Chains A and B, each alone.
Chain A
């Protein structure tokens, strides 16, 4: 699977990247929302993992963009504690799943497998 990760925290970005590579996936790394939206538009991505709070464009804006491109993409949202309302917005915009930070990378892999199996 070609998976796009949108995350401005370098440690999370790299850890998730290595975890996915180890599972045999291909990855595209983006460190801000605008870059993520451009990549989603240009490339044929299979799944998106996005943080909510990011520079230039948020995870919510990425979800809106995916909807406007009319792409059917599974999206896993990474949120922080206290962002419940934003997570509700994310589901309204078509998010497939969400995880609250601190999160387990192993659990993230399991959720990706579940979404890939659908």
Chain B
């Protein structure tokens, strides 16, 4: 080893240092150039975004007078990046404006032939690109795309079939939900909310469908249906919701409790109390929350009993909170200051009263 170092001359050492320094300078230059390039891209995107938004604003404010084709704008749209930004602005605008403004946005979509761009996306391989294309065609109400989008309901990629589900419901409303009959994959909470939001009304012949979905082997379909029942106050399904208290899934039980409270009648409180002891803790807590929400004085003795005798602390707390909602403060204060009462119960009451304040 030593002999190698002895052979390195000063001249060679200087050359080595110069080479290393040159490499460092080169690296710094490359990083700077890359950062500058990134900045330019970002800056350009910002300009294109502003131009696209300006176009939408102009169309909404001035209406048809600028609805005629802008040749300069068409030239710009030849750039795929600009086209994508404009398309995304159109889709976003549709979710911000309604009425005449939304029609103007839709006119822009047609005038500048954005439909072709969306069709190109839907036929690509990358799932997120296809999903984007589906959304664009659905938001812009391109009815002719419906058969193709429906064929994507069975797509293996989640992003694609979820977007297809949303699109068919946007186009067809309640009738678009027929995919639920055979749905095996879970419907996420977010997807359920999106679908529910897209359904404005129910057709007269909805009962058979709803009944079918309530007995689905896919528990997320049942949960979605219970949410649908709540949204449209479908009173005839009250008994079906009660039957779901026996379902094996705790989440379904909890949703069923929420549903019967949403459809509450004079029997509801007694029915909830009657099934209470057959339920797991999560469902029992939900029943106590339901009693709290309904504020029915007939549940007071039952709640007091749970505070005193239920073995689970979480149930004692939920029962106390319900008693507070029923304005049983005097009763609770009396127990909290009674020296003969077990410390555990006193602590639960103090905790619940503190939470309230």
Contact = CB atoms under 8 A, between A and B. Distances in A.
A12 B53 CA distance: 9
Contact of A104 (B50, B89, B98): B98
Interface string B33-69: 0000000000000000010011011101100000000
A44 to B, nearest CB: 26
A39 B102 CA distance: 31
B263 interface: no
B97 A104 contact: yes
A23 to B, nearest CB: 10
A102 B197 contact: no
A105 B61 CA distance: 9
Given A11-B93, A18-B61, A101-B96, A106 B101 contact: yes
Contact of A102 (B54, B58, B97): B97
Contact of B57 (A18, A102, A106): A18
B99 A106 contact: yes
A53 to B, nearest CB: 14
Contact of B95 (A14, A22, A102, A105): A102
A43 interface: no
Contacts, number: 53
Interface residues of B, number: 21
A72 B342 CA distance: 55
A102 B94 contact: yes
Interface in A2-48: 9-12, 14-15, 18-19, 22
Interface string A74-105: 00000001000000000000000000011111
Contact of B197 (A9, A19, A81, A103): A81
Interface residues on A, range: 10 to 19
Given A11-B56, A81-B197, A102-B95, A22 B61 contact: yes
Q: Is the interface of A mostly helix, strand, loop or mixed?
A: helix
A106 B101 CA distance: 8
A102 B102 CA distance: 9
B197 A15 contact: no
B202 interface: no
Contacts of B58: 18
A15 B54 contact: no
B275 interface: no
B92 interface: yes
26 contacts: A9-B96, A10-B50, A11-B53, A11-B57, A11-B89, A11-B93, A14-B54, A15-B60, A15-B61, A15-B97, A18-B61, A19-B61, A22-B61, A81-B197, A102-B94, A102-B96, A102-B98, A104-B97, A104-B98, A104-B99, A104-B100, A105-B60, A105-B97, A105-B99, A106-B100, A106-B101
Interface of B: 50, 53-54, 56-58, 60-61, 89, 92-102, 197
CB-based closest 8 A-B pairs:
A104-B99, A102-B98, A18-B61, A15-B57, A11-B53, A14-B57, A104-B98, A105-B101
Given A11-B89, A14-B53, A103-B96, 4 more contacts: A11-B53, A14-B54, A81-B197, A105-B97
